[in-house]
């Protein structure tokens, strides 16, 4: 990967680049309606997952607005991909980075998403020079809001009915933290 040196390990997890042979694992969660529920898009087909993997497995640049790095999350000692954390370069000059996470619900409720997101957020500040890290999520997505709060991000905005999700008006929440705040909060 161009911008990050992977793999890295946390207490329970290994974070690595995606590989082409991760297709079954990726499809296992990206195909689920419950996973796509608040992503403002339908679940992915197997073909869409395969296409996405081709991009994810290639060297991912981190130089221009819109570049993203998608990181596979596995439990250490088990090659199965249980989820992903993505960083997106939203504004190169202002060093604004968006973070997001998608996990297989079969591995939910064990703190894996929070553990992986903490590690990736640290990389965003330490290795990618991020000034402000933010997340955007549907106001009904309490699982995701809880991850933001466990990361110490603050809710900065609530954009009422700013998205049309099928025939439902979606309210978007924006959470964020700054580099100096992140540093001050680390043990």
Ligand X SMILES: CC(C)(COP(=O)(O)OP(=O)(O)OC[C@H]1O[C@@H](n2cnc3c(N)ncnc32)[C@H](O)[C@@H]1OP(=O)(O)O)[C@@H](O)C(=O)NCCC(=O)NCCS
Residues that bind ligand X (CB under 6 A): 35, 38-39, 100-103, 108-114, 137, 141, 143-144, 146-147
Query: Do 146 and 128 contact (CB within 8 A), yes or no?
Result: no
Neighbours of 102 (CB within 10 A): 19
Task: Identify which of residues 103 and 125 has a Cβ nearer to ligand X in the complex.
Answer: 103
154-165, strands of its sheet edge to edge: 8-9, 13-17, 68-75, 81-91, 96-103, 132-138, 168-178, 154-165
Residue 57 Cβ vs ligand X, minimum distance, rounded to whole Å: 21
Task: Identify which of residues 17 and 136 has a Cβ nearer to ligand X in the complex.
Answer: 136
Residue 165 Cβ vs ligand X, minimum distance, rounded to whole Å: 12
Token pair in block for residue 185: 């909060």
Residues near 181 by beta carbon (within 8 Å), at least 6 away in sequence: 152
Task: Identify which of residues 77 and 109 has a Cβ nearer to ligand X in the complex.
Answer: 109
Residue 128 Cβ vs ligand X, minimum distance, rounded to whole Å: 20
Residue 59 Cβ vs ligand X, minimum distance, rounded to whole Å: 25
């Amino acid at each position: 990967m161009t911008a990050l040196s992977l793999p890295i390990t946390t207490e329970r997890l290994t974070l690595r680049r995606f590989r082409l042979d991760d297709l079954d694992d990726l499809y296992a969660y990206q195909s689920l309606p419950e996973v796509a529920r608040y992503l403002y898009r339908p679940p992915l087909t197997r073909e869409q997952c395969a296409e996405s993997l081709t991009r994810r497995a290639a060297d991912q640049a981190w130089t221009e607005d819109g570049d993203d790095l998608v990181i596979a999350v596995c439990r250490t000692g088990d090659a199965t991909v249980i989820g992903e954390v993505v960083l997106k370069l939203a504004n190169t000059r202002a060093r604004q980075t968006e973070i997001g996470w998608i996990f297989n619900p079969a591995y939910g409720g064990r703190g894996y998403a929070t553990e992986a997101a903490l590690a990736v957020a640290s990389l965003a500040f330490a290795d990618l020079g991020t000034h402000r890290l933010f997340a955007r999520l549907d106001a009904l997505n309490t699982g995701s809001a809880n991850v933001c709060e466990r990361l110490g991000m603050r809710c900065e905005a609530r954009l009422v009915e700013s998205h049309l999700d099928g025939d439902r008006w979606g309210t978007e929440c924006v959470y964020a933290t700054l580099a100096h705040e992140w540093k001050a909060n680390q043990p």
